[in-house]
Amino acid sequence: MSLRLLLATAAVAGFAASASAQTVIEVGYATTTDSHYGMGMTRFGEVLEDLSGGEMTLVQHPAAALGGEREMIEAVQIGTLDMVITSSGPLPNFVPETQVLDLPFLFRDYDHARGVLDGEIGQ
């Protein structure tokens, strides 16, 4: 095979690969696929693929397959994981101010919590 033919083949193969390139979003979480996290991510993946015309897909890593919540947050920080669904437990390790959210009886009820977190304080 001549160098010219090899380069032409490589160029065409490169164009074909980029034309069919898909964005893959990887998400990790500590619970199983039949949990609220798993069911939510399954639906999110369906909507993502539908609205992107198949150009984006979601790959789930349930049941702490990639490590615990802290390890998955660290993976997002360094870019080896795109998303993580986590409880508030490990968050103070990264953002100490979030520790206040785990105080017992901080909010009277659900509406009070939503009002505070969606209001000026939560911004």
Q: Report pLDDT for 113.
A: 94
For residue 66, what are the contacts with CB-CB under 8 A and spacing of at least 6? 28, 72, 75, 81
Indicate if 16 and 68 belong to the same structural domain: yes
Average pLDDT, the chain: 88
Instruction: Say whether both 35 and 45 belong to one domain.
Output: yes
Are 72 and 121 members of one domain? Answer: no
The number of domains in the chain is: 2
* Domain enclosing residue 116, as ranges: 88-123
What's the pTM value of the predicted model, to 2 decimals?
0.75
- 92 and 82 in one domain? no
Quick one: pLDDT band at residue 16, thresholds 50, 70, 90? very low
Residues 70 and 111 in one domain: no
Q: Are residues 104 and 67 in the same domain?
A: no
Whether the pLDDT of residue 109 is over 70: the answer is yes
Is residue 74 domain-shared with residue 17, that is, in the same domain? Answer: yes
Cβ neighbours of 99 (radius 10 Å):
13
**Whether residue 123 sits in one domain with residue 66:** no
